[in-house]
């Protein structure tokens, strides 16, 4: 196994209000072929939580390629448990998991030798009843005979599969597979945590239609909750729809038609109902029909900004402003050898940045560096992050695993009944210590949605020499100490002006 090391201003690691929730600790990606002798065509796990980001190569045995679909699941402690290319589920030895073959079985599964073409149509979830022992995969079958003509990818039906993580000597086994949740022609699917902080809402939007299908994953399994109609004007032009995405607080769901406009629906996580909506009409199509579709939508950590990441002009929308309007993003960065400037799948990471995979193969990811700043200060940089292997279209598609309950609401049955464990009292962990150069900082919080968390470093005289503001739901930071004089420093974690945790750091000469 080869390991690569890359340095980032922020690293990633995940946690939640009651127990560690590092289910998105690993991001598996790459572009493996049936013949694995091509240079830089490998599967890698992009691992977060170290002072430097690490890349481990992963084995993958069997007759299927790995490229466009990148499904990954880690347990609550961040240990990789399985990954998928949408056609099979693989254990950590690279073998197809017991009974894990024939995922999303259809005509496309039979006809295409490469991986499944829709990375954002596969979402791994912890089992609400026994998350340490079981996991669910929510996924959809691509159902269009025009796939090879380059037309839209339509899902029908939406399915689930269930995995026993303890079976087969801990390598896992699929115990339920390709079980239908609901059937229609869907543009896409998305999930968000229930207001009780345990269950999950699963939502599919019908293709060119007003209807939303809402299902619930609860302790007793998966069931269809309701089918509702919402305002959604649409036209006849093909290749004009986009994806669904929830804000990190689970309050808003964004849906787009690139010829018509953008809809922002307000969602009640307790009842699984939509309560309001806003609409931003487009004066003209933001993507010319016939020249490709939207790449993806993604919210900033605070939920103030929504990013429309096309394989065309990209936009930011300030959702706290009235009226809503499109603000075109300047594309920063430079072309690089073997990198691709197109935009495909976007994922908000817990370092507060948005990573975007290219369309086609490339050795780079694009990055929105500061998504909670207005354009152009948000800095959308093309080819900003180098990869050690080629990645083809795919990127992991994760919900906010650390969202937690709606504290004090009628459906909050967790935070009011469970005493916070002592290890969830706010504290700071640093490494290495003593340090010279990069210092990794990990904070532990009962609630990561706080938008006023500051990390402040003071010298022996009490002078502040560094400050960092954590984005909501993030808790790993990488600090450069190479410019500081040697000595003992005090690191404080502050909630607003209140000091909630303290750690000593020794900087070597």
Residue 478 near residue 470 (C-beta atoms within 8 A): no
Question: Same domain for 348 and 431?
Answer: no
pLDDT on residue 128: 96
Tell me the percentage of the chain whose pLDDT exceeds 90: 52
Scored b (16 or more CB within 10 A) or e, 215-254 reads: bbbbeeebeebeeeeeebeeeebebbbbbbbbbbbbbbbb
- Residue 377 covered by a domain: yes
**Residue 37 in this model has a pLDDT that exceeds 60:** no
Q: Write the CB contacts of 34 (distance below 8 Å, at least 6 apart in sequence).
A: 63, 65, 113
Q: What is the mean pLDDT of the chain?
A: 84
Single pTM value for the model: 0.88
pLDDT digits (tens, 9 = 90+) for 226-246: 999 987 766 554 444 557 899
pLDDT at 3 > cutoff 50: no
Q: Give the domain extent around 480.
A: 422-507
In a domain, 153, yes or no: yes
The pLDDT value recorded for residue 449 is 77
More confident residue, 302 or 77: 302
Q: What is the 3-state secondary structure (H, E, C) of 201-264?
A: EEEEEECCCCEEEEEEEECCEEEEEEEEECCCCCCCCCCCECCCEECCCCCEEEEEECCCEEEE
pLDDT for 404 equals 87
The CATH number assigned to the domain holding 501 equals: 2.60.40.10
Give tens-digit pLDDT for 278-323: 999 998 888 765 555 557 899 999 999 999 998 778 999 999 999 9
**125 occurs within a structural domain:** yes
241, 283: one domain:
yes
In this predicted structure, what is the pLDDT of residue 320? 96
Q: Ranked by mean pLDDT, which of 31-35, 242-246, 441-445, 479-483 comes out on top?
A: 479-483
Q: Using the predicted structure, report yes or no on whether residue 431 has a pLDDT greater than 90.
A: no
Residues 471 and 323 in one domain: no
> Within 10 Å of residue 88's Cβ, how many Cβ atoms?
24
Indicate the helix (H) or strand (E) that contains 500. strand 498-507
For residues 82 and 163, the answer to whether their CB atoms sit within 8 Å is yes
Express each pLDDT in 359-381 by its tens digit: 888 899 999 999 999 999 999 99
pLDDT over 50 (residue 133) = yes
Nearest partner of 30 among 18, 39, 17, judged by Cα: 39
Question: Does residue 353 share a domain with residue 236?
Answer: yes
If asked whether residues 191 and 330 sit together in one domain, one would say: yes
Domain boundary among 392, 414, 441: 392
3-state secondary structure of 71: strand
Question: Which pLDDT belongs to residue 419?
Answer: 40
Same domain assignment for residues 369 and 443? no
Task: State the alpha helices, DSSP H only, in 346-495.
Answer: none
Answer yes or no: is 34 within a domain: yes
Q: Which residue has the higher pLDDT, 492 or 452?
A: 492
The rounded distance, in Å, linking the Cα atoms of 371 and 292 is 25
The single residue listed with the structure tokens 């207005």 is: 374
Of 430, 426, 469, 456, which Cα lies nearest the Cα of 444?
Answer: 426
Residue 423: the pLDDT is 47
Looking at the domain assignment, is residue 56 inside a domain?
yes
For residue 32, what pLDDT is reported? 66
- Residue 189, pLDDT > 60, answer yes
Residues 14 and 99 in one domain: yes
pLDDT of residue 141 exceeding 90? no
pLDDT band at 262 (very low <50, low <70, confident <90, very high): very high
Verify that 352 and 487 share a domain, yes or no: no
* Domain presence at residue 262: yes
**What pLDDT does 259 receive?**
81
Distance separating alpha carbons of residues 133 and 24, to the nearest angstrom: 17
Structure confidence at residue 414 as a pLDDT band (50, 70, 90): low
Q: Is residue 305 part of a domain?
A: yes
383 & 443 share domain: no
Residue percentage of the chain with pLDDT more than 70: 84
pLDDT at 273 over 90: yes
pLDDT at residue 208 tops 90 = no
pLDDT of residue 117: 73
- Same structural domain for residues 495 and 386? no
Nearest C-alpha neighbor of 142 from the set 127, 150, 133, 152: 152
How far is the C-alpha of 238 from the C-alpha of 342, rounded, in Å? 20
Domain count, the chain: 2
Which CATH number covers residue 54? Answer: 2.130.10.10
Residues 142 and 21 placed together within one structural domain of the fold: yes
DSSP states along 292-361: --EEEEEE-TTSSEEEEEESS--EEEETTSSS---EEPPEES---TT-------EEE-TTS-EEEPPSSE
Q: Among 53, 71, 89, which residue's Cα sits nearest to residue 345?
A: 71
For residue 90, give the nearest of 59, 136, 44 by alpha carbon.
59
On whether residue 223 sits in a domain, the answer given is no
Say whether both 306 and 434 belong to one domain.
no
Q: Which of 392, 412, 437 delimits the end of a domain?
A: 392
């Amino acid at each position: 196994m080869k390991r690569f090391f890359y340095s980032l201003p922020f690293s990633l690691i995940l946690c939640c209000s009651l127990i560690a929730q590092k289910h998105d600790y690993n991001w598996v990606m790459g572009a493996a072929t049936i013949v694995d002798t091509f240079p830089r065509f490998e599967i890698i796990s992009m691992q977060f939580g170290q002072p430097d980001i690490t890349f481990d190569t992963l084995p993958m045995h069997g007759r299927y390629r790995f490229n466009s679909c990148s499904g990954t699941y880690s347990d609550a402690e961040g240990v990789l448990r399985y990954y998928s290319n949408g056609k099979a589920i693989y254990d950590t030895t690279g073998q197809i998991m017991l009974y894990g073959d024939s995922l999303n079985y259809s005509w496309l599964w039979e006809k295409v030798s490469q991986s499944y073409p829709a990375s954002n149509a596969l979402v791994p979830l912890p089992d609400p009843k026994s998350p340490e022992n079981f996991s669910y995969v929510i996924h959809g079958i691509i159902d269009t005979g025009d796939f090879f003509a380059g037309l839209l990818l339509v899902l029908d039906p939406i399915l689930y599969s269930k995995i026993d993580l303890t079976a087969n000597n801990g390598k896992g086994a699929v115990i339920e597979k390709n079980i239908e949740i609901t059937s229609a022609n869907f543009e896409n699917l998305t999930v968000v945590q229930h207001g009780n902080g345990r269950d999950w809402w699963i939502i599919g939007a019908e293709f060119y239609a007003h209807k939303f299908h809402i299902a619930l994953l609860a302790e007793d399994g998966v069931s269809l909750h309701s089918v509702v109609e919402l305002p959604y004007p649409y036209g006849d032009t093909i290749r004009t729809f986009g994806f669904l995405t929830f804000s990190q607080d689970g309050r808003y769901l964004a849906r787009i038609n690139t010829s018509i406009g953008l809809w922002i629906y307000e969602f009640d996580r307790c009842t699984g109902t939509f309560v309001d909506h806003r609409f931003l009409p487009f004066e003209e199509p933001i993507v010319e029909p016939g020249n490709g579709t939207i790449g993806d939508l993604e919210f900033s950590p605070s939920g103030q900004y929504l990013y429309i990441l096309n394989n065309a002009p990209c936009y930011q929308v300030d959702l706290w402003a009235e009226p809503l309007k499109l603000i075109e993003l300047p594309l920063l960065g430079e072309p690089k050898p073997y990198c691709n400037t197109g935009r495909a799948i976007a994922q908000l990471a817990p370092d507060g940045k948005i990573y975007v995979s290219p369309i086609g193969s490339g050795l780079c990811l694009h990055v929105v560096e500061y998504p909670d700043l207005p354009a152009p200060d948000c800095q959308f940089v093309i080819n900003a992050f180098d990869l050690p292997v080629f990645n083809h279209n795919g990127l992991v598609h994760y919900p906010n695993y650390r969202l937690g309950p709606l504290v004090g609401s009628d459906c909050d049955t967790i935070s009011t009944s469970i005493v916070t464990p002592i290890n969830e009292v706010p504290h700071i962990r640093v490494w290495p210590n003593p340090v010279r150069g990069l210092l990794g900082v990990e904070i532990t919080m009962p609630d990561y949605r706080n938008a006023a968390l500051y990390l402040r470093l003071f010298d022996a005289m009490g002078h502040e020499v560094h400050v960092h503001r954590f984005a909501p739901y993030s808790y790993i930071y990488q600090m450069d100490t190479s410019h500081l004089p040697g000595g003992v420093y005090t690191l404080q974690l502050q909630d607003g002006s209140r000091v909630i945790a303290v750690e000593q750091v020794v900087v070597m000469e």
